Structure 1
Amino acid sequence: MGATLLAAALGLSACGEPPAEETTDAEPETRIESALVTNVFEPAGAVESLAFLPVPDAPWTGLLAASMRQGGFDIYTIDGERIIQSAGPRLIDVGAVAGFDLRGERFPFLFGVDLEGALRSYALIRETREMAELPLGADAPSEGAAGVCVFDEGIGYVDLAVLGEDAEATILRIRDRGEDALSVETRATIALPFPARACTSANGELVIGGPTAGLARIDSGGEIVADAPGLAVSELVYAELLGRPVVIAPAPELGRLIVFDARTLEEIAALELEDGLNAPAVQRPGAVALTLESYGGMAFSSGVMAVYDAGDSRVKLVAREVVSRAVVAPE
């Protein structure tokens, strides 16, 4: 009887379903890289946004603009010396151009969106160390804007991508036509896959980010070229590092910057900014800006990245070359 039961059991085992093989669909591990902070300075208050204003003919005189959380702008040299303190509204997002044609001269310009959703424009007048707000034409939004970035530049104009509170972006061309207000012309309206709060231009296309929807790269017709859903994105910068186009977004809860391939939005690496010589590590990255233009000296001759660290309320600078070597292998 026992033998019969054993044979039956063996027979059932042989005829039954084989045990399922274990599958491993785990996410690939994030590659973590590190770069040393090169320099640090303490701004006068909490920083909302950062933007570089390079001077190609005199790199060491380039500036860094900080949109302050309490309102207005502070303008710094690359050594952290504040040369302009300008009162004004709090701007939730800022786009910058190093040279905008105005009345036959070229001025650094900053464009921002205030808390009411209005688009504003400011010329930096270096000789008198002041910021001058200039009125914008009727097509500029007076409410409903949620973000802004520079989309394109050309002779005599700058194109801005203005994010709406809903899922759309408007391309506005800003020019000086000698009138009381700067000319604002609507060039296109692009439907977005989600309401975006951050954007950056990427070779004629737009990379957008949102607080819950992640990242998406959108062409001029509103088609999704690539996406990375499920991320919380509040800041974006685009650059080419060692020939590879990348998008960098801060992840403050991780204390890192996440670097994505700008073409596919696949994650390349997470970057930790560590203690440098007399320059402490970044604890909680917030506002971030990156330029490939020279800011002079050995460290910043090929560009620089600036990060506002909400952990200790300081702005930390990292040489662009250091960032490139840390996260991107030449293709």
Structure 2
Amino acid sequence: MFQSRRFDPVFQCAALSRTHFRGPRSLARAFALGASLLALGACGPNAEAPEGATVEAEASGPTEILVTAAFTAVEGGGGPVGFLPDPNVPSLGFVLSAPGAGGIDIFDLDGILKTRHAGERLTGLAVAPDFELRGEALPLIFGSVGDAGAVRGFAVVRDGAQILDLPLGAMEPIDGVAGLCLMREGTGFVELVVLGTGAHAEIWRVRDAGSDQLSVERVRDFPLPVPARQCATLDGDIYTASPVGGIARLSGDGTILAEDPFRATNLALGDFNGTRLVLATSGTGETIETFDAESLVRGLSLDIIDGLSTQGIQLPAALAVTGEDYGYTAYANGLMVVFDTGAGRLKVVSRDALSRAILAVD
């Protein structure tokens, strides 16, 4: 049983059931929830299955997972989301959101809005949680501003969840700025993938050179198969999402390694006990689609349904997954956060619940 300080406990043994009817959902949810509660014994350490037994998802419907919690609703709509874990006290980690109205929101793990930093509308977020500025640990956030064709920097003071505007050197990508993501973080520097407005991407390095502003330099640039608006990275590979051209996996120098035509508006990457997946949403579909991270072969469709005290995700949009420890029983192995456009708020699923559902079908 998982719980935080604020939300009611939610049982998280994922159940594979028949097609989840989203019209009059209450009856279908009741059956799904009842099946999950009856199956709790199967989640426990004493549960046994016949040797060689397997669990298969029915081809007629998605894999259903119970939602864990919902955050406080705030005005402004949904945008990119991310994480700022706390290595010293995991339960004090933050969840970040760039609302459509502009700026950055910081939430605690109870789902309470701690800070709203006013500013431009950000189309992408990249977080460098371990950056040291002038010898002091100071997490950094970078955001792409599509309207201005620029990249902005922010520093986070954990005490009080304060966000400070960070002076950056002039960053002028060749093809403008549509989105960005973190490539890697090293000692004293951060590398960002910056997506252009056309089919183009660049790698930029940001570092503290001791001047009044952080220095920036273009490391390399390369073409993309199609214009992309969102990206994520894993082990040096870059994954891009395009609402018109699909999902692509590229090497760090831009070589195309795999593609799928799914028209994604948002994507995230996760490692679920050795199973590496791309998770993507279309902005109009009611499920989260999964793809093998190496081949981009289509996998499960995930339907996040009602928990005991929280309504399921109606229309998933921006999402992010982390394996970092966020404390409590539910989040010790990480979590997934999704903006539910239908409800106008962020909703959370325990990473343990995701892993059980994925591995049960595999």
TM-score by length of 2: 0.80
Alignment of 1:245-256 (within 5 A): 245-256=276-287
1:189 aligns with 221
Question: Structure 2: which amino acid aligns with 1:65?
Answer: L
Higher-Rg member (1/2) = 1
Deviations 1:295-319 (A, max 9, x none): 1011111000001101011211100
TM-score by length of 1: 0.87
Q: Partners of 2:294 and 2:61 in 1: how far apart?
A: 19
Q: Partners of 1:330 and 1:170 in 2: how far apart?
A: 38
Structure 1 residues 220, 49: closer, same or farther in 2, change over 3 A?
closer
1:155 aligns with 187
1:121 aligns with 153
Displacement of 1:104 in angstroms is 1.1
Counterpart check, 1:39 vs 2:75 = no
1:312 aligns with 343
Structure 1 residues 90, 143: closer, same or farther in 2, change over 3 A?
farther
Alignment of 1:1-331 (within 5 A): 32-45=62-75, 46-114=77-145, 115-141=147-173, 144-229=176-261, 231-328=262-359
Displacement of 1:48 in angstroms is 1.1
Deviations 1:246-281 (A, max 9, x none): 110123422110011010001110000010121111
Secondary structure at the counterpart of residue 165 of structure 1: coil
Q: Partners of 2:155 and 2:104 in 1: how far apart?
A: 12
Structure 1 residues 30, 212: closer, same or farther in 2, change over 3 A?
farther
> What is the number of residues matched between the two proteins?
303
Secondary structure at the counterpart of residue 91 of structure 1: coil
Structure 1 residues 128, 32: closer, same or farther in 2, change over 3 A?
closer
Q: Partners of 1:139 and 1:308 in 2: how far apart?
A: 30
Q: Partners of 1:121 and 1:322 in 2: how far apart?
A: 34
Q: Is the 8 A contact 1:289 1:306 kept in 2?
A: yes
Q: Partners of 1:220 and 1:61 in 2: how far apart?
A: 34
Displacement of 1:97 in angstroms is 2.0
Q: Partners of 1:143 and 1:69 in 2: how far apart?
A: 23
Q: Percent identity?
A: 37
Displacement of 1:99 in angstroms is 2.1
Q: Partners of 2:302 and 2:226 in 1: how far apart?
A: 27
Q: Is the 8 A contact 1:30 1:270 kept in 2?
A: no
Q: Is the 8 A contact 2:150 2:171 kept in 1?
A: no
Structure 1, gaps ≥5 residues long: 1-27
Question: Structure 1: which amino acid aligns with 2:69?
Answer: N
Larger strand proportion of the pair: 1
Structure 1 residues 88, 120: closer, same or farther in 2, change over 3 A?
same
Question: Structure 1: which amino acid aligns with 2:163?
Answer: M
Q: Is the 8 A contact 2:151 2:171 kept in 1?
A: no
